[in-house]
Amino acid sequence: MKFLENVSIYMFGSVFSFAVSILVLPVYTRYLSPSDFGVVILFLMFGSLLTGFLSINLHFATYRYYFKYKNDLEKFRILNSTNMVFLLLIFLLSGGIIFFLSGWFSSVLFDSLLTKKLIQLSFLSGCLEYLFLYMTTLLTAEIRSISFTAITVSRILLNTILSFYFIFQYSLTYMARINALLITQVVIVLCLILITKNTFSTRLSFASLKKSLKLSFPLIPHQMIGMIHGSFDKTMLNKYTGLSSVGFYSFGEKFALVLKTIMDSVAKVFNPYFLDKAHENTEESKREIVIRFYELAYLFMIIGLCLIYFSEEMIIALTTKEFYPSMYVVPVYVYYYLIGIIAHISMNQITYSEKMIYILPASIAGVVINISLNIILIPKFGAIGAAGATAIAALFQQLLLLYYGMKLYPLPLGKMRLARLYIIVMGLTIFVYPIMAMELNIIVKILMKITLISTFVAVGIYYRYISYSSIMKIIYKFKFK
């Protein structure tokens, strides 16, 4: 299948999943309070961050070496099996330690908001989630878009059905979400084992493990920094403004996630495309990478603008009044993902060079700025301050990653061309909060927002971030599908 066809399949799964998660919000927001959402977020945060650190990012090494050994699949199967066995041993040993220390984690880190049992279940959930990530990464390396989408759709449907069952049958609140998540994870991981069994071997190799660890080991400091980056803001929010503020923050983040979901769907096709083109190592292949990147960046920004401007209407339509403060978080958090568009180029450049140590300076700078800004902004602005700190830190981090990426694998990117695209977006989004504050008819507001988005579309075509022929090609492909 070609690039756009695979993107459309991945996109279907992502859009379907997001649509379901949005449509069920009226139910969740009526049966769960902002504090309940805060407990779920802390539950997810603890398990995913801890298992992410323990995994040493071995899924990344497996993904990278697939492209190196794709013409010698038996060699890849041995490496893949060795990495998986190592991961399972690490998780098993760590699980025993967590079981005995769960009381300490509960009292010291979470003021007993997460009980001992929830700490233990959180770690189990984190392990299952990482296995899900590992095996779906295998599917994306092989560009098995149909299998990936089937798993994604099945996961969201099963999770939603089980959540409703526990809410309505047993009158549970946050435990309904947690129970549904754990059962879904077990079922989906078992399905993935069957789907990806052709990528495993009965043979193991210490040399393969050593090679994988050598590639992924420099990511450990980055992973530790990521743990701080991913938990510090929520921990501070809980400390200064309570669980409700964590709920508002995570709720605003949830609406912004539609952009990340789409970006991740496209990345599943763009990353293999980048690595295959990079292995060609010609000026023409480099030019093709840059053209494709700008087309994707432009489309991502259109989606981002739609989310920024229509977050007000979405949250009012889908939630209750106690969740309305989340609408002010969404625009700021969308910027975090818009800035992350740069990583589609820079991270692939660093990955191709296999010099992952260059991620570290950017990670350190990002977390120092993030923590500093959180300390300053959260006491004053709450959830909006946390989102702003995350976005500003991401800007400095992504610029450093781009600097090193261009050193390791130069591309004819045009830095001023990239800067101009972001300046245009910023110029058009400074109006979002004044428009939210205006007491205008909803139709008038919507027309104003559509006009601003249309302006960006026209300006983008004028500066040739995407060509008319490319637009027609995309329309034709999706119309044909």
The pLDDT tens digits for 333-349 are: 888 888 889 988 998 89
What pLDDT score does 217 carry?
75
Q: Where are the domains of the chain?
A: 1-217, 220-481
Kindly tell me the sign of the dihedral angle through the C-alpha atoms of 309, 315, 321, 323.
negative
At residue 242 the predicted structure's pLDDT band, cuts being 50, 70 and 90, is low
pLDDT in tens, 23-70: 887 888 788 877 787 788 888 888 888 888 788 888 888 988 888 887
Count of H helices and E strands in the chain? 20, 0
Extract the tokens encoding 124.
Answer: 């189990």
Question: In whole angstroms, what is the distance from residue 196 CA to residue 42 CA?
Answer: 31
Q: What is the pLDDT of residue 122?
A: 92
Mean pLDDT of 108-121: 83
Rounded to 5°, the CA angle 476-480-481 comes to 120
pLDDT of residue 240: 61
Q: Indicate the average pLDDT of the chain.
A: 83
Does the pLDDT of residue 154 top 90, yes or no?
Answer: yes
* pLDDT recorded at residue 124: 94
185 — alpha (psi -120 to 50), left (phi > 0) or beta?
alpha
Q: Cα(89)–Cα(101) distance, rounded to whole angstroms?
A: 19
Confidence of residue 470 (pLDDT cuts 50, 70, 90): low
Average pLDDT over residues 12-22: 82
Q: What is the pLDDT of residue 354?
A: 80
Residue 12: per-residue pLDDT: 85
User: pLDDT class for 95, splitting at 50, 70, 90?
Assistant: very high
Residue 480 has what pLDDT? 46
Mean pLDDT, rounded, for 173-200? 93
80 pLDDT above the threshold of 80: yes
pLDDT at 130: 93
**Identity (one letter) of the amino acid at 448?**
M
Higher pLDDT, 349 or 281: 349
432 and 445 in contact (C-beta within 8 Å)? no
- Quick one: average pLDDT of 246-270? 76
Least confident interval from 6-10, 145-149, 240-244, 347-351: 240-244
CB distance 125 to 43 below 8 Å = yes
> Which residue in the block uniquely carries the two structure tokens 């989630």?
129
Per cent of the chain over pLDDT 70 is 88
Q: What is the mean pLDDT of residues 146-162?
A: 93
Burial of 4 (0-12, 13-18, 19+ CB in 10 A): middle
pTM given for the model: 0.67
> Which band of pLDDT confidence, cut at 50, 70 and 90, is reported for residue 401?
very high
Helices 174-195 and 34-54, axial angle in degrees (round to 10): 30
| C-alpha to C-alpha distance for 153 and 44, rounded to whole angstroms | 20
Cα distance between residue 460 and residue 424, in whole Å: 9
**In this model, does residue 113 exceed pLDDT 80?**
no
- Averaged pLDDT for residues 239-249: 60
